[in-house]
Amino acid sequence: MKILLPSIYYPFIGGVSIHVENLIKNLNKLDDFEFHILNYNFDCTIENSFDNVTVHKVPYFSKLRGPSYILNGYKIGKKIIKDEKIDLIHSHYAAPQGFLGAILGKKCNIPTVLTLHGSDVLNLSKNTFGKYFFNYAVYNSEKIICVSEFLKNNLKTNFNIDSNVIYNGFDEELFNPSDSDKNYGLFVGSLVEQKGIFYFLESIKNIDFDFKIIGNGPLYTRIMDFIKVNNIKNVEVLGAKTQSQVSEYLKNCSFLVLPSISEGLGMTIIEAFACKKAVIGSNVGGIPELIKDEINGYIVPPKNTKILEDKINMLVNDKNLRKSLGNEGLNYSKNFSWGLSSKKTYDIYDSLLNR
């Protein structure tokens, strides 16, 4: 089975890259596949860990990244489809990747699948320019996958489109139970507005406890300035880390905080649960589908730094509490696996190719 994947991928480290990597790894256990990824032409390179994956670099202009990716990706993708006899297109994120996948599917008359990851539904669909690309992608993809029930309901309510929910999993080789607790709170995520990072910094500045931030993104400089101006001494910004490094920080942390103001699901929550860690998350998007308040963590209102600070203090001051919540998180993590997610994805492929 030959699959074309318009998607952001490594060396960019983020939720979509991690999702695609784990999907490929587990689909390979189910059948013989050949994957062709249409990725941005990033300056740096990373060694590909799969023999059956070819990463095609799509040139783009930084100020017109989406449109230039679509134009160049169309030329490259059309040639790949013809030369490699591609069976199916599976795009990740609505635009520009999903838009490109939908156009190629129509032009070349092959089935298309689109996975929506969160901010494409919650933000891009409302953007003056972006909504055109979003609408084309969702109305011209034959099967749509959402990573949470929240996204599925949003898509049905606002666009009258049916979709399949397939949750993210976690890499069981990397994320596994740990009793280590080295007395620091942890944030893992892209440094973008929707992750609520400034509310996190505001809530921890007066807490006598150490915190670490893993991630990179457009807000990096503003975050460093905010920390300096507010003289926040108890936080360390570590930048981007590999999945292997993230797993070590999660295994050794006291708890995870995800103070998002918008979130499709929150893959890092599942990974924290797998490491037997308590989690605090905002009451937005798919997060309440994962965190059961006062059972495996705490749910807080978005942007409310006072309540967030109170919940963090509760975990800071009570090791037994964070251990108890972590045990429940570990139990809950057993509901999620890339093996199950990949099997459901494979069934969708099969239904399209054998109809």
Write out the two tokens for 328.
Answer: 């429940």
Distance CA 181, CA 324 (A): 13
Give the C-alpha distances (Å, rounded to integers) separating 247 from 60, 65, 138, 174, 322. Answer: 33, 31, 34, 6, 18
- ∠ Cα 184 227 279 (to 5°): 35
Tokens of 171: 């890499």
132 - beta bridge partners? none
Beta bridge partner(s), residue 56: 38
> How would you write the pLDDT of the chain (355 residues) with one tens digit per residue?
999 999 999 888 788 998 999 999 999 999 999 999 999 998 776 677 899 999 999 999 988 999 999 999 999 999 999 999 999 999 999 999 999 999 999 999 999 999 999 889 988 999 988 999 999 999 999 999 999 999 999 999 999 999 999 999 998 899 999 999 999 999 999 999 999 999 999 999 999 999 999 999 999 999 999 999 999 999 999 999 988 999 999 999 999 999 999 988 888 999 999 999 999 999 998 999 999 999 999 999 999 999 999 999 999 999 999 999 999 999 999 999 999 999 999 999 999 999 7
Within 10 angstroms of residue 171's Cβ, the number of other Cβ atoms is 19
Residue ranges of domains in the chain, CATH in brackets: 2-169+337-353 (3.40.50.2000), 184-333 (3.40.50.2000)
Q: Which residue has the tokens 């459901």?
A: 344
Neighbour count for residue 148 (Cβ, 10 Å): 26
Sheet of 278-282, strands arranged across: 235-239, 210-214, 184-188, 255-258, 278-282, 297-300
For residue 185, count CB atoms less than 10 angstroms from its CB and return exposed for 0-12, middle for 13-18, buried for 19 or more: buried
Distance CA 45, CA 61 (A): 18
| CB contact at 8 A, 168 and 145 | no
**Alpha-helix residue ranges (DSSP H) falling in the chain:** 15-27, 65-84, 99-108, 119-122, 130-139, 149-159, 197-204, 220-229, 243-252, 267-274, 305-316, 319-333, 338-353
Residues 133, 139: Cα–Cα separation, whole Å: 10
Q: Which tokens go with 25?
A: 């790894």
User: Which tens digits make up the pLDDT trace of 260-317?
Assistant: 999 888 889 999 999 999 999 999 989 999 999 999 999 999 999 999 999 999 999 9
Geometric angle at alpha carbon 246, from 245 and 248, rounded to 5° = 65
Q: Which of 170, 151, 114 is nearest to 265 (CA)?
A: 151
Q: Which helix (H) or strand (E) holds 36?
A: strand 34-40
Question: How confident is the model at residue 266, as a pLDDT?
Answer: 87
Residue 52's alpha-carbon distances to 33, 55, 197, in angstroms, are 7, 10, 38
Q: What is the pLDDT of residue 45?
A: 66
d(CA 9, CA 37): 8
Instruction: Give the whole-angstrom CA distance, residue 66 versus residue 129.
Output: 11
What DSSP string runs through 180-247? ---SEEEEES-SSGGGTHHHHHHHHTT-SSEEEEE--STTHHHHHHHHHHTT--SEEEEE---HHHHH
CB 144 within 8 A of CB 112: no
What CA–CA distance (Å, rounded) separates 160 from 46? 40
User: Which pTM does this prediction carry?
Assistant: 0.86
